[in-house]
Structure 1
Amino acid sequence: MEKKRVAVPLVCHGHSRPVVDLFYSPITPDGFFLISASKDSSPMLRNGETGDWIGTFEGHKGAVWSCCLDTNALRAASASADFTAKIWDALTGDELHSFEHKHIVRACAFSEDTHLLLTGGVEKILRIYDLNRPDAPPREVDKSPGTVRTVAWLHSDQTILSSCTDMGGVRLWDIRSGNMVQTLETKSSVTSAEVSQDGRYITTADGSTVKFWDANHFGLVKSFNMPCTVESASLEPKYGNKFISGGEDMWVRLFDFHTGEEIACNKGHHGPVHCVRFSPGGESYASGSEDGTIRIWQTGPEHEDESHMANGISGKVKVPATEEVSRKIEGFHISDEGKSKEKEEATA
């Protein structure tokens, strides 16, 4: 592997406040997509390959802490400090459902089969909404011991995991019984938990360590000490041979999964990095920062060409002119690009 490359990222502007969560869709017939959550209350959808802005989901009245897309990238979900989780039509930008909570919602995740939405937050309750019956009361599993920070599904929607903002560990819950069945012990609170694309590993960031857990037997596979406090980590999905981390030192680092050796250190953000995620094919990865920007970095040197430089909103990169992508863009409710409204922001 080539050492210490100087990477030139795609810089995606548009958010007026810190970017706190990123999520890539799987590869769909239309390509793949990137959704971002920000304290500016307006999640944004982008072309995952080029970073080009597609549209903004408007309707939240507080900071948006978490966002995700379903398996087909047809619907989006967002969790907000305005005490709601919302479901959106990812083709038109329309709000489909708004699920009221009694406090700040910090995390949300679609089930693999796309029929369920999992939420968690300051109420310390994990709720499961049936999207086929959105007006029905949600199912609640055993009470979380602390404020929920992250949630995810695994084992073909038979298990859910969550971490807390105010204590260490990742807790696993059996969907059938609703009971907590396992805790993955960490010293610091887990700020990022990702299930690998092949379902083999759970990648966590806690304090200044990145850990990899066996997702089936729950043993600790690897633990690497990072150069600073990290907030997020992500495993390369195709080969599983690299991982990325981002944190308070503003840099996005690429490591060898087997040895923990640093392969690249990407500089460019002007504030702490809150979230990092690999694209579904592993050819690039995105980082979101306190500085309000998203940066998309190419994994391999073969992609590092100045023609790839683009502003995320200006659309200088040509999007493949497929009917599907055109349909997504034409149908979306386009707001004033880059112009942020003064919005009430609630913070945790």
Structure 2
Amino acid sequence: MANDSKNTRKIPIVCPGHTRPLAELQFCYIAPEQRTFLVSACHDRLPMLRDGTSGDWIGTFVGHKGAVWSCRMDPSGSLAATASGDFSVHVWDAITGKDLFQLPHKHIVKTCDFSPNSKYLATGGHEGILRIYDLTQPEQAPITIPQDPSKKITITKCNWLSEDLLIVGCGDGKIRFWQPLAQGGPATVPVHTMSTEGTSEIRDMEVSRTTAGQDVLTVAAGERVYFFDLQTRTCLKSYKMPIHFREEGGASLHPSGNKFVAGGSDLWVRVFDYQTGEELELNKGHHGPIRCIRYSPTGESYATGSEDGTIRLWKTD
């Protein structure tokens, strides 16, 4: 039962447009323009681009034939990539919406991410194979790296940490660090592996740098949210949530590093104290379970995407 003393009764900005459950949200801050964008992946096959502050619709990327599971903009804001259940990844001109090229796969693709220099795109999914595409030569075959040569392990999330280091979240509850561009050919073993409790699938994974300069990996899996120090590669905090992330949901750390937001198996959006795990806020607005959640780069707001097909922008205090 909801605790009314923590229910702040905030009224979010509602962003309609999607017609099916949301799958992923990503903010992208473009420094030269001093503007924040928000891109969304959805099961309706139509990823969208919005103004990250107002939530106003900017454009829709049309071309997929299956549910879109992942959407990312490159650091320059000129490219977008989307991974889909139609066994493909599309790379788009983020300014015009033009479909630049398609990267075929052999199974559902669950995740994609641009390298910091925008030269490479990493993808992964139900094949259990990490693919690295050189976007300056998209016609060339990608670098392929199985997560485990002996068995298929689904890749659920991938995030570049640097130009030569990639973090991969998997269906076996493990987080693998790869150097896919190392000299001497494709990597065959990860340079490091971190584990969550049990074998619950990594549902969400976010790389962020706090205002104190600490690089943190936020992970949602099973019934817990984890925070890993990316320099020491150790677990800083782990909290059991009043929700689970077995089918949907995620978590995001505020840029200050003082609090985090999480949503999953119920309709509530919860804000927690990072140091203690205490629940600070309990906000309701969605009419379906929370599927994805992210703080804006400034921390002034956060976005939630739900099974109800809407995105909501919530102001922080």
Partner of 1:160: 166
Instruction: Give the match's secondary structure for 2:23.
Output: strand
Could you tell me which amino acid in structure 1 is paired with residue 253 of structure 2?
L
Residues 131-184 of structure 1 show CA distances to partners (whole Å, capped at 9, x for unaligned) of 111111111224345111111111x2221111223x212111123262312221
SS of alignment partner, residue 287 of structure 2: coil
> Is this contact kept in 1: 2:128–2:146, CA < 8 A?
no
Identical positions, percent:
48
TM-score (norm 1): 0.82
Amino acid aligned to 1:79: A
Tell me which of 291, 296, 301 is aligned to 1:284: 301
Could you tell me how far apart the structure 1 residues matched to 2:103 and 2:209 are?
Answer: 28
Residue 250 of structure 2 aligns to which amino acid in structure 1? S
Structure 2 unpaired stretches of 5+:
none
After TM superposition, list the pairs within 5 Å mapping 1:85-234 onto structure 2: 85-144=89-148, 145-154=152-161, 156-165=162-171, 167-175=172-180, 176=182, 178=187, 179-186=189-196, 187=198, 188-197=200-209, 200-230=215-245, 231-234=249-252
Deviation of the 1:7 alpha carbon: 0.9
Q: Residue 119 of structure 1: CA displacement?
A: 0.1
Structure 2: how far apart are the matches of 1:184 and 1:68? 24
User: What TM-score results when the alignment is normalised by the length of structure 2?
Assistant: 0.90
Corresponding position of 1:13: 16
What's the CA shift for 1:213? 0.5
Match for residue 245 of structure 1? 262
Aligned length: 296
Q: Which residue of 2 aligns with 1:260?
A: 277
Instruction: State the SS of the aligned residue for 2:309.
Output: coil
Counterpart CA distance in 2 for 1:71 and 1:249 is 33
Q: Distance in 2 between matches of 1:15 and 1:117?
A: 26
- Checking the alignment, whether the CA contact within 8 Å between 1:142 and 1:180 is kept in structure 2 is no
Normalized per residue, the structure richer in helix is 1
Q: Deviations over 1:59-88 (max 9, x none)?
A: 000000000001021111000011110110
SS in 2 for 1:227: coil
Q: Is the 8 A contact 2:6 2:282 kept in 1?
A: no
The answer to whether the Cα contact below 8 Å between 1:28 and 1:73 also exists between their aligned partners in 2 is no
Report the Cα distance in structure 1 between the residues aligned to 2:17 and 2:209, rounded to whole angstroms.
29
User: For residue 79 of structure 2, what is the amino acid of its counterpart?
Assistant: R
Which region of structure 1 is more displaced relative to structure 2, 25-34 or 188-197? 25-34
Q: CA deviation at 1:6?
A: 2.0
Aligned 8 A contact 2:78 2:94 in 1: yes
Shift in Å, 1:191: 0.3
**Matched residue, 1:312:** none
The answer to whether 1:23 aligns with 2:52 is no
Residue in 1 aligned with 2:291? Answer: 274
Aligned-partner residue type, residue 254 of structure 2: E
Deviations 1:229-286 (A, max 9, x none): 132011112x111111010112111111111111111101111111000101110000
Q: Name the residue aligned to 1:336.
A: none
Q: CA deviation at 1:120?
A: 0.2
Indicate which of 62, 65, 70 corresponds to 1:61. Answer: 65
Asked whether the 8 Å contact 2:267–2:287 carries over to 1, the reply is yes
Listed as ranges, the gaps of 5+ residues in structure 1 are: 301-348
1:88·1:97 contact (CA, 8 Å) conserved in 2?
A: yes
Which moves more between the two structures, 178-187 or 14-23? 178-187
- Structure with greater strand share of residues: 2
